[in-house]
Structure 1
Amino acid sequence: MAMTRKTKSKIEVAFIYLFFVLMFIVIGYPLMWAVMMSINPGTNMLVTDLFPDKPTLEHYIWLFTSPASDYLIWYKNSLIIAVLNSIGSVVLTSLIAYAFSRYKFVGRKYGLYLFLLLQMFPALMGGMVALYILLTTIGLVDSIWGLLLIYLGGQIPFNAWLVKGYYDTIPRELDEAAKIDGAGHLRIFWTIMLPLAKPILAVVALFNFMAPFMDFLLPQIVLTDPNNYTLALGLYNFINDQFSTNFTRFAAGSILIAIPIALVFLLLQRYLIGGLTAGATKG
C-alpha cells in the first residue's frame, strides 16, 4: 500500500527533529563540559566530573581578583579591538560596497574579481611575514592598534563582496527618484542605502565583533607583551605553561567570552529582524 502524504509528512518532520536533537548534542555537550569544568575544584581536566560534588566559583573569582591574573587586561584589550573592528568594518565595508554597487569606474570589474580571488585563498595566512614587517616599519608591532589595523584590512574582501551583493538587490529606481528630488550621492547613501541594508550590516558588525575573541594565530605572531594579549592568546597560556597547566581556569575564562558576544547578538538581532520585516512590507 502506498504511503499516504500525511504519513510521509510525519516521517519528514521526525527526521527534522532528530537532526535538531543530534545537533544540540554535538553543540551542547562540549559546552556543558566547559561550564561544569569551570566550577570543578582543582586544575586537572582528567579528574574533573561532569556534575561536580562540590561546585565552586573559585576559578572565576581568581580571574578577577588575583594579582597574578591579567584576565581583566586581556578582556579590555579584546573589547577595544572588537568594538573598533566592528564599527570600522561597517563603515569601510558599507562605503566600499556602495562604490562597487552604484558607480562605474575603471578597474571595477577586476576589483570585484580580486575580492573573489582573495576569498578563495588564505591571503592573510600567506602574508603573515609581510604584515609583521609592515607593522615593524610603522612602529605598531606588539600593539593592539597594529592588530586592529590588520583586522580592518583583512575583512574588506569578504565583507565588501557580501554587502555589495545585498546593495545590488536594492532597486536603483530609489536612487533615481532621490536624484530627481535633488539628493546627492552621500545623501542617497545615508538616507536610502544604509536603512535598507541594516540586516547585512548587522551581520558584518556581529562577525567582526566576534573575530578578535576567537582569533589566536594572528595575535600570537603580532603580540609579545602579556599586557597587550587578547583573551584567546592569554587563555592559551593557562594550558600551555611548561611548569603548570590549569584547565579549569581556562574553562572559566572561556565561558565568560560568550557574554559580550551574546549581548551584541541580542542588540543587533532587533535591527536584523526589523530590517527584514520592513523590507518585506515595503516590497
Structure 2
Amino acid sequence: MFKKKNDLYLSDKQPLTVTGKIGIGLSYLALLLWAVAILWPLFQMVVSAFNGFQVQYLILNRDFEFSLKHFKYLFEETLYLKWVSNTIFIAISTAVLSLAMVSFTGFAYSRYRFKGRKASLMAIMLIQTIPTFAGITAYFTMHSIISSVIPAFSRQMMLILIYSAGGIAGNTFILKGYLDSISTELDDAAKIDGCSSMKVYRLIIMPVARPMLAIIALWSFIGPFMDYLLPRVLLTKPESYTLAAGLFTLINDFRTLNQPAFAAGGLLTAIPIVLMFILLQKQLVSGLSKGSVKG
C-alpha cells in the first residue's frame, strides 16, 4: 500500500488504469495459452512413450500402464543406436568445423580493414536469405565431383560440409557484432607487451568471446538433430540416416509404423542436446569475466 498525501502516490510508478489492467490480463492470458500449446504436446509425447496401452497409433486416452516396451522396440527392432551415432558424429563435426572457421572470420572482420570487406559482409547477409533446400541439385553435383576425386568422401561428410558452410555466414556476422563491442584497448595493450596478432586472437579475443562461441557451438550442434529434409534427400541408406530421418520412418512408412516408438525416440533425442547445454552453460556465464582478467 502506498501512502497518500494530497491524493498523490509516493511512488515513481503511476497506478494502473482500468485499460492497463485489462492489457496485462490479456498478456498473461496469451502467455498462458502459448505455454499450454507448447507443453501439452510434449506432455502427451512423454506419456505415450511410457504408456503400455499404446499399440501402433497414438491414442489420447485416460488408461495408462507404465511400460518400456516402446523403448525396447526402438533399440531392438530399429537402427536407433546407429542413427544416434551418425547424428552425434555429424553434430560434433559440424560444431568443431563451424567454430574453427567462424572464430577466424569473425575476428578478421571485426579487427581488420581490408579491400572488399563491406562487399563481402553484404554478400554474407544475402547468403542467409537463400534457403538450404534450394541447393539440393548443386549438392548432388558437388558430391559427385568430390567423390570422383576422393572415393572415401561419403554423403555424411557432404552433409557436414553443408551444415558447416551454411552456418559460417550467419555466425560470422553474429560473432563480428559481438567482437565489435569489445574494446580494442585490450588488443593495443597486448601488442605493447609484444603479442602478435595470433596471440591477441588466442589469448585476448577468444577468451572474451567464449560466451558467443559457446552459443554458436550449441546452435551448430543442435542443427543436425532438428533437420529432416537434407538427410532424407542426401542419405539413401537407412543405416546412414540421422535421427530425424530415421525416426520419421516410424510414422510415414506403413511397414515400420509405430507412433509410440517415435514418441520414445523423440524423447531420447533431447538427451544429447540437454547434455550439450549443461556442458556449455558454465562457458556462457564465466567466459566474459575470465577473458577480461586474462586481457
TM-score, with length taken from structure 1: 0.89
Q: Does 1:133 pair with 2:145?
A: no
CA-atom RMSD, angstroms?
2.7
Shift of 1:6: 4.1
Q: Does 1:115 pair with 2:124?
A: yes
Q: Which residue of 1 aligns with 2:189?
A: 177
Q: Which residue of 1 aligns with 2:73?
A: 62
1: CA distance between counterparts of 2:55 and 2:146? 42
Answer whether contact 1:97 1:160 (CA < 8 A) is retained.
yes
Aligned counterparts, 1:229-240, within 5 A: 229-240=241-252
Answer whether contact 2:226 2:244 (CA < 8 A) is retained.
yes
Shift of 1:53: 2.3
Q: Does 1:104 pair with 2:140?
A: no
Superposed CA deviations along residues 207-266 of structure 1, whole A, max 9, x for unmatched, are 111000000001111100111100000001011113352100100001101001011111
Q: Which residue of 1 aligns with 2:3?
A: none
Of 75, 82, 104, the residue aligned with 2:91 is 82
Q: Mind listing any 5+ residue stretches in structure 1 that lack a counterpart?
A: none
Superposed CA deviations along residues 96-121 of structure 1, whole A, max 9, x for unmatched, are 11111111222111110000111123
2: CA distance between counterparts of 1:142 and 1:92? 22
Q: 1:71 to 1:90 in 2, by over 3 A?
A: same
Of 33, 37, 47, the residue aligned with 1:36 is 47
**SS of equivalent residue, structure 1 residue 47:** coil
Q: Does 1:26 pair with 2:34?
A: no
Moved more, 156-165 or 55-64: 55-64
Answer whether contact 2:207 2:291 (CA < 8 A) is retained.
no
Of 249, 266, 270, the residue aligned with 1:258 is 270
Q: Which residue of 1 aligns with 2:253?
A: 241
Answer whether contact 2:133 2:229 (CA < 8 A) is retained.
no
Moved more, 273-282 or 40-49: 273-282
Q: Which residue of 2 aligns with 1:155?
A: 167
2: CA distance between counterparts of 1:8 and 1:73? 60
Shift of 1:275: 3.1
Of 185, 200, 206, the residue aligned with 1:194 is 206
Answer whether contact 2:121 2:173 (CA < 8 A) is retained.
yes
2: CA distance between counterparts of 1:14 and 1:242? 47
**SS of equivalent residue, structure 1 residue 120:** coil
2: CA distance between counterparts of 1:6 and 1:93? 49
Of 203, 214, 218, the residue aligned with 2:230 is 218
Letter in 2 for 1:34: M
Equivalent pairs, count: 278
Return structure 1 stretches of 4+ with deviation > 2 angstroms.
Answer: 1-24, 40-49, 140-143, 275-282
Q: 1:212 to 1:196 in 2, by over 3 A?
A: same
2: CA distance between counterparts of 1:90 and 1:248? 37
1: CA distance between counterparts of 2:39 and 2:244? 21
- Which is greater in Rg? 2
Answer whether contact 2:208 2:292 (CA < 8 A) is retained.
no
Moved more, 128-137 or 20-29: 20-29
Shift of 1:165: 0.7
Superposed CA deviations along residues 151-208 of structure 1, whole A, max 9, x for unmatched, are 1111111011010111111111111111111111110001111111111111101111
